[in-house]
């Protein structure tokens, strides 16, 4: 007899006293939503589960993505004794007692599946206690953690398990789960309203279920209303559609506010997008574009700052990464503006399209063989470092475009210094005697 009661595996959908997330917990892989990268038909983990050949694993992912649910489904499908451990309540004595039971079960032909939720909370001594039993195959260990196993699980145990990373659920996946739950909470709801809940849940199914449960309890006529959802989320729902007009309206407002150097307006439109659940990497990409298109050489560091913000968002996630987006928005809005480099490239593209493809002048070609040198490759090339101030006077454009100016810098920010430098270069080249 184990010291721990097996986890109740029977469906609890009809038990109204249980949280909605528990009542909606799927019991088969077919009902499980998400994690297709490891559970789609033919994927290694699914194949191991279906063939009942699973070894010890660690499920690593954010809250509410189905780690516990997957462990329970595996227990059902493998017909193993399912024993959940608590890192808070279980000491070495309890662990060793259950391990002894598991060893006896193995000799009798029965398997024991040990599920450790939040395995990162087990200390080194507790994790060490599982090692010999995992190694001998007395138990199948499934650990679940929201923390990086490389830092939180001892290396000896980590080397004896396979780590699977679980991803936040996509909005469409959460909407599908909420649609399944509507008959359980006895309400109807529009897809737009369910999608608002999914956006707010940010990949966490448990959060989405909790909002739906609270909002359904406040709905008297069997129809889920926006006010009930707002009350459950304790925040106002903003009009937004990531693929519709409002999506483009808001990013347009942000871009034009930055271009107009209106810091406060830029921050406001950024805040609207953040609160509406916009993809942070999409915002970061657009800010990088603003740095290139509207600031350019007037402040070359704008591109560095926007790329740094993109990296910070990727590294920190939500909500800490939002601060980086706010910071770079202020930087870009306050920076001097110039689209001269953007327009220069447009002029180049126009020239390329409207002129024939002239051959590269011989003096700009490398003579990589003796024959090429005899044919005139490299003849007349002027090596810049052999000239005063590294300024030769040779023409590098094709003959039909010689002397064309594509880049016309402004007198704003760093571009003013660039303009002065270019004028000095051009004047110097005109004074340089031809060889």
- pLDDT tens per residue across span 370-393: 888 888 998 989 898 888 888 888
Give the separation between CA 133 and CA 250, rounded to whole angstroms: 57
- Please, which residues bridge with residue 142 across strands? 57, 115
Give me the pLDDT at residue 290, please: 96
The answer to which of 8-17, 339-348, 379-388, 407-416 has the lowest mean pLDDT is: 8-17
Joined tokens for residue 325:
């987006």
Q: What is each CA distance from 315 to 266, 280, 281, 308, 312, in whole angstroms?
A: 24, 12, 11, 10, 5
Joined tokens for residue 46:
């699914």
What is the residue whose two structure tokens read 């006529």?
221
The answer to which of 91-100, 302-311, 322-331 has the lowest mean pLDDT is: 91-100
> Do the Cβ atoms of 246 and 263 come closer than 8 Å?
no
The DSSP element (H or E) to which 320 belongs, if any, is helix 320-334
Give residue 311's pLDDT band: very low, low, confident or very high (50, 70, 90). Answer: very high
The answer to which of 49-63, 102-116, 175-189, 281-295 has the lowest mean pLDDT is: 102-116
The answer to which of 236-245, 352-361, 398-407 has the lowest mean pLDDT is: 236-245
Joined tokens for residue 262:
């209106």
Condensed to tens digits (0 to 9), the pLDDT of residues 44-71 reads: 889 888 888 888 899 998 888 999 899 8
Over the chain, what is the mean pLDDT? 84
- Predicted TM-score of the model (pTM): 0.56
Condensed to tens digits (0 to 9), the pLDDT of residues 123-145 reads: 888 888 888 888 877 788 898 98
Question: Residue 140 carries which DSSP code?
Answer: E
Full set of structural domains in the chain with CATH: 20-165 (3.40.50.300), 171-233 (1.10.8), 245-334 (1.20.272.10), 359-431 (1.10.3710)
Give residue 262's pLDDT band: very low, low, confident or very high (50, 70, 90). Answer: very high
Give residue 176's pLDDT band: very low, low, confident or very high (50, 70, 90). Answer: very high
Give me the pLDDT at residue 432, please: 57
Give residue 10's pLDDT band: very low, low, confident or very high (50, 70, 90). Answer: very low
Full DSSP string of 107-143: HTT--EEEEEETGGGS-HHHHHHHHHHHHHTSEEEEE
Full DSSP string of 323-386: HHHHHHHHHHHHS----HHHHHHHHHHHHHHHS--PPPPGGGS---SHHHHHTTTTTT---GGG
Condensed to tens digits (0 to 9), the pLDDT of residues 191-247 reads: 888 988 888 787 889 989 988 988 888 887 888 878 888 878 776 545 445 555 667
pLDDT at 169 over 80: yes
Q: Give 113 or 104, the one with higher predicted confidence.
A: 113
The DSSP element (H or E) to which 212 belongs, if any, is helix 205-217
Give the separation between CA 216 and CA 195, rounded to whole angstroms: 15
Q: Angle 171-185/191-201 helices, nearest 10 degrees?
A: 120
Sign of the four-CA dihedral 71, 74, 75, 80: negative
> Kindly report the CA angle at 196 between 195 and 201, in degrees rounded to 5?
95
């Amino acid at each position: 007899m184990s010291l721990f009661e097996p986890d109740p595996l029977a469906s609890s959908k009809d038990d109204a006293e249980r949280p909605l997330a528990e009542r909606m917990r799927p019991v088969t892989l077919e009902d499980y939503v998400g994690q297709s990268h490891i559970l789609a038909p033919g994927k290694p983990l699914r194949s191991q589960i279906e063939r009942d050949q699973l070894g010890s694993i660690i499920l690593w992912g954010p809250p509410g993505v189905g780690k516990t649910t997957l462990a329970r489904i595996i227990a059902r499908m493998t017909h193993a004794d399912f024993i959940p451990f608590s890192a808070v309540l279980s000491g070495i004595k309890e662990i060793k007692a259950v391990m002894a039971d598991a060893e006896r079960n193995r000799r009798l032909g029965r398997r024991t599946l040990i599920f450790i939720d939040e395995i990162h909370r087990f200390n080194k001594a507790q994790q060490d206690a599982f090692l010999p039993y995992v190694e001998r195959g007395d138990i199948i260990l499934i650990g679940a953690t929201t923390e990086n196993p490389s830092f939180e699980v001892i290396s000896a145990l980590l080397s004896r398990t396979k780590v699977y990373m679980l991803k936040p659920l996509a909005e469409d996946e959460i909407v599908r789960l909420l649609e399944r739950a509507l008959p359980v909470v006895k309400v109807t709801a529009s897809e737009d309203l369910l999608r608002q809940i999914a956006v707010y849940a940010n990949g966490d199914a448990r959060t989405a279920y909790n909002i739906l449960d609270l909002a359904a309890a406040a709905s008297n006529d069997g129809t889920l209303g926006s006010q009930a959802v707002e009350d459950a989320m304790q925040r106002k729902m903003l009009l937004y559609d990531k693929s519709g007009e409002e999506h483009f309206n808001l990013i347009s407002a942000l871009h034009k506010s930055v271009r107009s150097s209106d810091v406060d307006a830029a921050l406001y439109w950024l805040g609207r997008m953040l609160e509406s659940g916009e993809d942070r990497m999409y915002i970061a990409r657009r800010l990088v574009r603003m740095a290139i298109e509207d600031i350019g050489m007037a402040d070359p560091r704008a591109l560095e700052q926007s790329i740094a913000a993109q990296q910070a968002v990727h590294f920190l996630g939500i909500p800490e990464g939002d601060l980086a987006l706010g910071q770079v928005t202020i930087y870009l809005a306050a920076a001097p503006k110039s689209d001269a480099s953007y327009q220069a490239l447009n002029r180049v593209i126009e020239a390329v399209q409207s002129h024939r493809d002239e051959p590269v002048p011989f003096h700009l070609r490398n003579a990589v063989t003796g024959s090429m040198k005899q044919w005139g490759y490299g003849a007349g090339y002027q090596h810049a470092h052999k000239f005063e101030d590294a300024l030769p006077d040779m023409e590098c454009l094709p003959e039909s475009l010689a002397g064309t100016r594509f880049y016309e810098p402004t007198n704003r920010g760093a571009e003013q210094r660039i303009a002065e430098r270019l004028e000095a270069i051009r004047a110097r080249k005109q004074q340089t005697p031809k060889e």
